[in-house]
Amino acid sequence: MSDDRNPGMPEGPGEGSLLQKPVDRRGALGLLAAGVAAGAAALGACRPLNASTPEERELKVLEWQEFTQKHYRRMTEAERAETIARIERLAKIRHDEDVTIATTDAQPGVLFGYAFNVSKCQGFRNCIEACINENNLDRASDTQYIRIFEMENGVVNLEEADATYQHEVPLEGHFYLGTQCFQCADPPCVPVCPVGATWQEPDGIVVIDYNWCVGCRACMAACPYWARRFNWSAPEVPLSEVNPNQHYLGNRARKKGCVEKCTFCIHRTRLGQLPACVEACPTGARVFGNLLDPDSEIRWVLANKHVFRLKEELATEPRFWYFSD
């Protein structure tokens, strides 16, 4: 309980005091759901929750279990496995998707950092294209985690920058600066969450439990970088374009009314891969690595280039730097 911003929040799976209780309120609701399901199976003729076919019945029960599931950080290993199996089954029933959802934990001794070379970026937006496809972003509302701002040479003025340019790039006399979630060391979005649905992982990535988010959008108001996105409707991704390689805290299917954000491609980076934006960048403007490794590329950039961060005076300590050649 050393983190006073999340009172009552355990620090890891299986450590919560709530687990010591025999049955809590949510557990009771879950048991109730299980009881309904068991009763339905026993009675046979009964049609619980207006479901007609077995699949519909299964869907109703799974949705009820999903509604009553625990907070991700309070789940035991077994509960996590159960939750993952449920989400994968729901994806199959709802959208006929065969997805694999990982719960890969942070690697010890790893703290992710990012550097963006403003003199290399040419504004091609390949990073955005890769991000949309990698993270299953909503095609209907055209959700994009990354913004590329076009600015006139000479001064960083985001107030007059253009993120919606549509002409041949690079434009003479202009430079390009990309923003996304900066995974701040002191993230203002985390303490404002009334339900503790967002937190910072040990490797510095700020994540959201989409099932726990109530959609109040306080985090969006708190973020000085406008890095979070809200799902006004259930995200739509064509079946043929769904990335089946997913992570519980990352690119799995979001629900209507929850907030989402860039997670440095948590499903890739925790396996040692690069985020999609870094890998897709054709100019090499993006550098990614482990801040705790003194021999990493990101540390070389921090030590040898002139770097700056956006709105540094707010002391959110973003782990995202800009540099130039």
Partner 1 sequence: MTRSWVTRGTVCLAAAAIIAGCREGHQVRWDQLPPGTAAIAVDSATAARNAAREPGALATVTADTVVGWTGPGGRPFEVARRTAGPDAGHSRRFGTITLPIVLRQGARALTQYPCMSCHAGSKVTMAARRTPDAHHDIQPVHPDTAGGVCATCHAQDNVASLVLIDGKRATLDQSYRLCAQCHFAQVNAWAAGGHGKRLDGWQGRRVVMACTDCHDPHRPAVQQRIPFRAPELEKTRGPIP
Using CB under 8 A as the binding rule, the residues of this chain from 195 to 214 that contact partner 1 are: 200-202, 204
CA distance 207 to 198: 6
What kind and span of H or E run contains 32? Answer: helix 25-43
**56 contacts partner 1 (rule: CB under 8 A):** no
CA distance 183 to 201: 10
**193 contacts partner 1 (rule: CB under 8 A):** no
Tell me whether residue 60 or residue 203 sits nearer to partner 1 (CB atom).
203
CA distance 210 to 71: 10
Radius of gyration of the chain (CA): 22
Residue recorded with tokens 């992570």: 247
**287 contacts partner 1 (rule: CB under 8 A):** yes
Q: Helix 54-67 crosses helix 77-95 at what angle (to 10 degrees)?
A: 140
Question: Among 28-36, 42-50, 83-91, 167-175, which window interacts with partner 1 (CB under 8 A)?
Answer: 167-175
Chosen residue from 18, 34, 151, 230 binding partner 1 by CB under 8 A: 230
**179 contacts partner 1 (rule: CB under 8 A):** no
Smallest CA-to-CA distance from 264 within 276, 256, 252, 253 is with 276
**170 contacts partner 1 (rule: CB under 8 A):** yes
**308 contacts partner 1 (rule: CB under 8 A):** no
Chosen residue from 142, 159, 160, 313 binding partner 1 by CB under 8 A: 142
The contacts of residue 176 (CB under 8 Å, 6+ apart) are 118, 121, 122, 123, 148, 149, 150, 151, 169, 170
Tell me whether residue 55 or residue 186 sits nearer to partner 1 (CB atom).
186
Tell me whether residue 90 or residue 237 sits nearer to partner 1 (CB atom).
237
Question: Strand, coil or helix: what is 26?
Answer: helix
**185 contacts partner 1 (rule: CB under 8 A):** yes
Q: Phi and psi of 178, rounded to 5°?
A: -100, 140
Convert residues 92-121 into a mask of x (bound to partner 1 by CB under 8 A) and - (unbound).
------------xx-xx--x-x---x----
In order of 12, 223, 254, 280, the CA distances from 228 in angstroms are 25, 8, 13, 22
**236 contacts partner 1 (rule: CB under 8 A):** no
In order of 211, 258, 291, 315, the CA distances from 229 in angstroms are 16, 9, 27, 22
**235 contacts partner 1 (rule: CB under 8 A):** no
Chosen residue from 37, 91, 189, 280 binding partner 1 by CB under 8 A: 280
**2 contacts partner 1 (rule: CB under 8 A):** yes
Size of the site for partner 1 (CB under 8 A): 91
Instruction: Name the minimum Å distance from CB 180 to partner 1.
Output: 12
**27 contacts partner 1 (rule: CB under 8 A):** no
